[in-house]
Structure 1
Amino acid sequence: MAKREDMKDWILTCLKARGGKGSPRDVSKYVWEHYEHELRQSDDLLYTWQYDIRWAAQKLRNDGILKPVNGRKDLPWELA
């Protein structure tokens, strides 16, 4: 069963597949296309995954894995 923490790996997998960056929308689309089954099997994540993916991106920023966006919503998520 998928956990919230798994989303960090899913984001990294997506960004690596996209050349190192992608919009939050593109990352969410990728996650749904590749991990829908896991999300549907998790009662908790199915209803919160779009919030949780943003949480995971912030954790990756805090760890220096993603570049900071400084509160801007128009910047892509990008590997540091």
Structure 2
Amino acid sequence: MKELVIKAIRAAGGKSWPKDVAKFIWDGYEKELKASGDFLYTWQYDVRWAAQALRNEGVLKPVNGRRDLPWELI
């Protein structure tokens, strides 16, 4: 999922809102998400955990718990 988050943010020019990241993933991978069984019901949650992991790895800028900042690549 981390790779898809990075791909979505790069496609948006290096900065994107979580809802737009989710839209990019859904638009491009809807068929795979639907075919993945229970993952269909958790993928948006998994996207957020992937973003947090990317922040921990120094790939995304920290947001310090704020929800009014876009996700941004470093």
Note the C-alpha offset of 1:39: 0.6
Q: Normalising by structure 1, report the TM-score.
A: 0.89
Uncovered stretches (5+) of structure 2, i.e. residues with no partner: none
4+ runs of 1 displaced by more than 3 Å? none
Aligned residues: 74
Matched, 1:27 2:24: no
For 1:78, the equivalent position in structure 2 comes to 72
In angstroms, what is the RMSD of aligned CA positions?
0.7
Uncovered stretches (5+) of structure 1, i.e. residues with no partner: 1-6
1:53 counterpart letter in structure 2 = V
Q: Normalising by structure 2, report the TM-score.
A: 0.96
1:65 counterpart letter in structure 2 = V
The 2-side partners of 1:44 and 1:52 are apart by 12
For 1:44, the equivalent position in structure 2 comes to 38
